[in-house]
Amino acid sequence: MNIRRRSLLLSMIFLNFILTVNVAANEAANAEAQAETPIILSTEMAVDMAIRNNLNLESARIGLDIRRRGADFAWNQLVPSVGVAGNLSRENWAPVQQGMIIPLPGSPIVIPSMTLPQWRMNGAFSASLDFSFALFEGMRRMRLDYEAGLVSYEKAKLQMEQAVRKIYNSILLLQANANLHADNFSNAQQQARIAEANFRAGLAPRLNWLQAQVAVENMRPIASELDNNIISLKGNFAIILGLPFDMEFELEPVSLESFAIPQDLSEFISRSAAMQKPDILELQANINTMLSQRSALRLQQFTPFLRLSWNLTSLFDPTLDPFQDNLFTPDNWNKGGSFTVTLGMNFNSLLPFTRESQQRKDMEASIQIQHIMLAQMIQETELEIFTKIHSLETIRSNVAAIQAAVELAETAYRLAEEAYRAGLQDFQSVRNSALALEQSRLQLLAQYFNFMNDLIDLEYALGIPFGSLRRN
């Protein structure tokens, strides 16, 4: 009985061990399978990941935090400047206090000469505060600088979103091109098999078979090059999203229901006149900051300033030695100090050849340059919108012709392939039909994605949310 119980117990332990190992192996296999399964990204998911994880935007966020702190604590210019200082010095030669005789009626007082200690010690506490009209304008400039930083950060986010959406479309275009090339490669292989069968059946010369094989081999490097371009572009895209460059991911396809443009040319140009493009808004914010800086400079140079200062000094009695006498006895310290009110003004700014006057002239010239740049950017934006709209119109008018060409090319290829199977056409005719069909399909794909990228650029130029034109 004991042997049976021991055998049963050992069997149960062994079975439990096997079950535990199997469960662990299954969990590891599931985790590995989940790790190998590529993630599926949509356009919006890619944009969100780039905004959260991109290092360039992280640097922009840190710069914005610096400006925010400057604006939040701009009032600290009204905090007095407070300082404490202590001084310990030693004379090279011991000073001597000369004696003197004080004549008094009756008996004069004689003060003998004495040698003073070589060490000296003193301390000081000071506080000062400057008031001027430029001080308050400087606080306003800090707030404008922060607002300009907000505009710059939003511009960086929009530029990142624009780049992500266009790269997303470029990857889809490359993948569609690779899929189309794979279909053509499969057709070429099928044609090579037909050529071989016709040759062996005596229905076609050996030259047709060789030409078909050459066509298949010539298509292999193109497929490898397309795959390499997709891998390289996806690696760069992953870095932009803050992912490892070798991480596997798939992109959700995008659809373009129509090539319709919701507004006409005049409305687009009128919207551009509102200057909502991020680049224009950023330049306007910088100009406002420079105008405030100019006002602060003028107030600083042409208005008086008021300085309030207070100081307290304590000098250890020079007749005592700080290393031998008690430092904590109040009578051993000679105390002094003062409160001072100063009202002043700098007159150098009134002279045209001084440094202050040249600063004002340089500031005026810089503001003029910024205004010229703003006018140029507005003109360039209007031209960009005008060009993009005409590009969209051109694509829309060309697509109908390209779609008709694709249908004709498909019909021609089908007829050529049927004739080739029947031995009525040579291989070169079939190959030419296949190349014409491939070229037409590539042109149609390129037109679709060019239309979407032009819409993205147009939305950025107009300063409207991405996807607004497609939703409309």
What distance in Å separates the CA atoms of residue 93 and residue 96, rounded to the nearest whole number? Answer: 9
Residue 16 lies in a domain: no
Residue 24 lies in a domain: no
DSSP code string of 101-116:
EE--SSS-EEE--EEP
Phi, psi of 151, deg, nearest 5:
-65, -40
Residue 237 lies in a domain: yes
Q: Could you tell me how far CA 456 lies from the centroid of its own chain?
A: 18
Quickly list H helices, 319-462.
355-421, 427-462
Residue 123 lies in a domain: yes
pLDDT for the residue numbered 269: 59
Residue 1 lies in a domain: no
Within 8 A by CB and 6+ apart from 211, the residues are 195, 427, 428, 431
Over its length of 472 residues, how does the chain's per-residue pLDDT go in tens digits? 455 555 555 566 655 656 565 555 555 545 454 445 778 888 889 999 999 888 888 888 998 999 999 888 888 888 888 999 988 888 888 777 776 666 767 666 666 677 788 888 888 999 998 888 888 888 899 999 999 999 999 999 999 999 999 999 899 888 888 888 888 788 778 777 877 777 787 767 777 778 778 888 888 888 888 889 888 998 999 998 888 888 888 888 877 555 665 555 556 556 555 568 899 999 999 999 999 999 988 988 888 889 999 999 988 888 787 888 888 888 788 888 889 998 988 888 788 888 888 888 998 999 999 999 999 998 888 888 888 888 888 888 888 888 888 888 888 888 887 777 776 666 667 777 877 888 888 888 888 888 888 888 988 888 888 887 776 5
Q: Tell me if 316 sits within 8 A of 332, measured CB to CB.
A: yes
What distance in Å separates the CA atoms of residue 425 and residue 13, rounded to the nearest whole number? Answer: 76
Residue 184: other Cβ atoms inside 10 A = 19
* 237's tokens: 């895209």
Burial class (CB in 10 A: 0-12, 13-18, 19+), 413: buried
Same domain, 265 and 364: yes
CATH of the domain at 380: 1.20.1600.10
Same domain, 273 and 214: yes
User: Which of 257, 276, 281 shows the shortest CA–CA distance to 458?
Assistant: 276
Same domain, 328 and 200: no
Strand partners, 309: 128, 340
pLDDT for the residue numbered 34: 45
Phi, psi of 465, deg, nearest 5:
-60, 145
What distance in Å separates the CA atoms of residue 61 and residue 59, rounded to the nearest whole number? Answer: 5
Range(s) of the domain holding residue 415: 40-72+133-304+351-471
Same domain, 120 and 140: no
What distance in Å separates the CA atoms of residue 69 and residue 463, rounded to the nearest whole number? Answer: 28
Same domain, 60 and 121: no
pTM for this structure? Answer: 0.75
Residue 19 lies in a domain: no
Q: Tell me if 378 sits within 8 A of 437, measured CB to CB.
A: no
Same domain, 327 and 356: no
Q: Which amino acid is at 430?
A: V
Same domain, 250 and 324: no
Query: Given 320, 344, 368, which residue is the final one in a domain?
Result: 344
Residue 372 lies in a domain: yes
Residue 322, SS3?
coil
Residue 107 lies in a domain: no
Same domain, 200 and 299: yes
pLDDT for the residue numbered 214: 83
Strand partners, 337: 312
User: Which of 405, 427, 407, 406 shows the shortest CA–CA distance to 416?
Assistant: 427
Q: Provide the b/e sequence for 288-325 (b: ≥16 CB within 10 Å).
A: ebbebbbbbbbbbbeeebeeebbbebbebbeebebeee
Same domain, 359 and 220: yes
User: Which of 285, 283, 469, 264 shows the shortest CA–CA distance to 378?
Assistant: 283
Q: Tell me if 269 sits within 8 A of 61, measured CB to CB.
A: no
Intra-chain end-to-end CA distance of the chain, in Å: 85
Count structural domains, the chain. 2
Rounding to the nearest 10 degrees, give the CA dihedral for residues 224, 227, 228, 233: 160
Same domain, 292 and 433: yes
DSSP code string of 193-213:
HHHHHHHHTTSS-HHHHHHHH
H-run or E-run covering 251: strand 249-251
pLDDT for the residue numbered 35: 47
Within 8 A by CB and 6+ apart from 365, the residues are none
Q: Provide the b/e sequence for 163-176 (b: ≥16 CB within 10 Å).
A: bbbebbbbbbbbbb
Same domain, 321 and 463: no
Same domain, 186 and 264: yes
Strand partners, 310: 127, 339
Q: Angle 216-221-223 (CA atoms, 0-180°, nearest 5)?
A: 85
